[in-house]
Structure 1
Amino acid sequence: MAVFTELSCDEVAAFFRALGLGQPRSVRGIMNGIENTNYFVDTDGAEYVLTLFERLTLEQLPFYVHFMKYLAVRGMSVPDPVANADGAILHSLKARPAVVVNRLPGESETGPMAAHCSSVGEFLARLHLTGLDYPRRQANPRGLEWWNEVVPVVGRCVSDRQRLLLASELAFQNEIALSSTYRQLPWGPVHADLFRDNVLFEKGVLSGVFDFYFAGCDAFLFDVAVCLNDWCVDTRTARQDATRVAAFLGAYESVRALTPSEHVLLPAMQRAGAFRFWLSRLCDLPRQAALLKPHDPSHFERMLRVLRGEIASS
């Protein structure tokens, strides 16, 4: 989340009136993230998040917003997109696609303990099972095909040592994707970006999961790996915490047991998760924005080297 497109209070008020949401009392820009413009908007009756999409087009968005609606209708703690009088949940504001969702309660947990990891593991497994019947299909927008496209591009902008790592890991991941074990992995809609700052807790209880705008269809194991790489890792050393890993996987498997192929490929998929976010952070250099908090690419490079055994894991 960030603010690339600045909106006046009058512009937000007119937009909210058209949706029948009442008069905004406050409008505040949100600085977290790097993809979209986001505002907290409070009215007399409720609290909302207004998102303007800076990169995604109106044609690309239905998978994401309808997936949120699909999960919300089924009782999951995710943002519920607001429909207009015609039932549409995708709108337009200042020549950009826009969506309004309810603001979920709680705060992000930046220093998760085992109990937080357990809650996230259980939620992710329920999301995977609930999403099996979601009718829309869209490939993970930052999956293997994207990696093959961008590695030659970012390779021109990094050191020789980093370029060798990019090429080596890409070759490894392409080989894994061709294996019979990989083809046996269960697939379906995944969140693909379930980091600590995309989950809310209220009094220690998971109260919401948001930011579905990197979702797509991929191996469920990729989603598991992304979570392990963030929730169960020491951010200073990029090394895993065994207690948190056990809590996350134990809770996940209490809802959906991992298959034999998933157990075999979990280490490779954790490398895939680290590789994906190293690549995206190399690509997503800070753009001009009124509010923006950039991410550091080096964390996931270090994590990838740890997972590859190039840096001692303890």
Structure 2
Amino acid sequence: MGVKTPITLQEANLLFPAYDFTQITPTKNGIIDTTYIINNATSAYILKKYERDISKKIQIDKTLLNLLSAHNLNVPKYLQENQEWYLYTKLSGEIPKNVQLYHIHALARFMAKFHNISKKITYTAPFLVSYEINKLLASVKKSHYAYYKKLSCLHNLDQKHDGFIHGDIFTDNTLFDKEKIAVFDFIDGGLGEFSFDTAIALLSFNPSNKRLHVNAFLRAYNQTSKKKISYDELQKQLKIAAKFYALLRISHDKKTKRAQELANFW
């Protein structure tokens, strides 16, 4: 989340007059799209402007959110749009600061239910395509050759298309209200492998790769998911996911500090 395009409270009320907004607050995090928290007398909402040409992704995102909401998964609900501004419900809860086993269990159950539904979504692009991994590797090869050698196995990375994956369920894309999990920011998802999706989530929820947490996740996930994941498969995908996100971080930051945080999985 963050802000690139400013909007005033008065302008927001002109766009969505039925809501009678009383307060608007810009978010501080995020590097791509503009996001505000906006309130009226009774409720809080998310007001978003996508700062890129992703009209097809937006349509798929709206369909997906409605589908997940219909299956009682705690995700934002699309409400309305006007002049490239999109209004969603705001989820309640807090980003987990100190992950406990109950967070792991809730995450696993959510992802299993999500994957049971998203396997039916086959009409979108593969998750990995938009990242142009080979181009990113070529750039890292010039600037951080030692890291390139560690990450070069990502050349021509290809994955099975089990269904739609989120691809970015880090802790800061989740909220917890006690033991109830909410997940948001599905917009950059795509077709991919479910074990890869779960591995990405565990990079953030289990950064030390504790076996206790991995096993707890797998037990909860496999109890609900129609497609099971083995311990060995998850460990294999954790290495791939860690290197993939290390590549993204080096490419974005132009330095290696945040990439090194993922070295536990290499």
Q: Which of 209, 233, 242 pairs up with 1:240?
A: 209
Unaligned stretches of 5+ residues in structure 2: none
Deviation of the 1:252 alpha carbon: 0.7
Shift in alpha-carbon separation, 1:154–1:250, aligned structure 2, 3 A: same
Select between 243-252 and 276-285 the one with higher mean Cα deviation.
276-285
Shift of residue 119, structure 1, vs aligned partner = 0.6
Check whether the contact 1:105–1:207 (CA below 8 A) recurs between aligned residues: no
**Which residue, out of 242, 249, 257, partners 1:281?**
249
Q: Distance in 2 between matches of 1:160 and 1:80?
A: 44
Structure 1 residue 170, shift from structure 2 partner: 1.9
Summarize deviations over 1:135-171 as a string: whole Å, max 9, x none: 632211x459721232113333x3231232232x324
Select 1:151's aligned residue among 120, 129, 137: 137
Q: TM-score, normalised by structure 1?
A: 0.77
Partner of 2:79 in structure 1?
82
Measure how far apart 1:253 and its partner are: 1.1
Counterpart for residue 3 of structure 2: 3
Higher deviation after alignment, 268-277 or 72-81:
268-277
Shift of the 144–210 alpha-carbon distance from structure 1 to 2, 3 Å rule, reads: closer
Give the equivalent residue in structure 1 for 2:154: 170
Counterpart for residue 170 of structure 2: 195
Q: Given the alignment, which residue of 187, 191, 196 partners 1:213? A: 187
Counterpart selection for 2:260 from 301, 304, 308: 301
State the SS of the aligned residue for 1:105.
coil
Return 5+ residue gaps in structure 1 as ranges: 84-90, 234-238, 287-295, 309-314
CA distance in structure 1 between the partners assigned to 2:48 and 2:131 by the alignment: 27
Over aligned residues, Cα RMSD in angstroms?
Answer: 2.4
Amino acid at match of 1:15: L
Is 2:209–2:264's contact at 8 Å kept on the other side of the alignment? no
The answer as to whether partners of 1:191 and 1:216 remain within 8 angstroms in 2 is yes
Q: Count residues in correspondence.
A: 266
Query: Is contact 1:81–1:101 with CA below 8 Å preserved after alignment?
Result: yes
Q: Which residue of 1 aligns with 2:62?
A: 65
Is the CA contact 1:199–1:206 (under 8 Å) kept in the aligned structure 2? no
Q: Which amino acid aligns with 2:187?
A: Y
Deviation at residue 10 of structure 1 after TM alignment? 1.6
Alignment of 1:115 onto 2:102: yes
Q: What is the DSSP-based 3-state SS (H/G/I as helix, E as strand, rest coil) of the residue aligned with 1:59?
A: helix
What's the TM-score once normalised by structure 2's chain length? 0.89
Match of 2:116 among 108, 129, 133: 129
Q: CA–CA distance in 1 between the matches of 2:58 and 2:249?
A: 22
Describe the shift of the 1:257–1:135 C-alpha distance in structure 2 as closer, same or farther (beyond 3 A).
Answer: closer
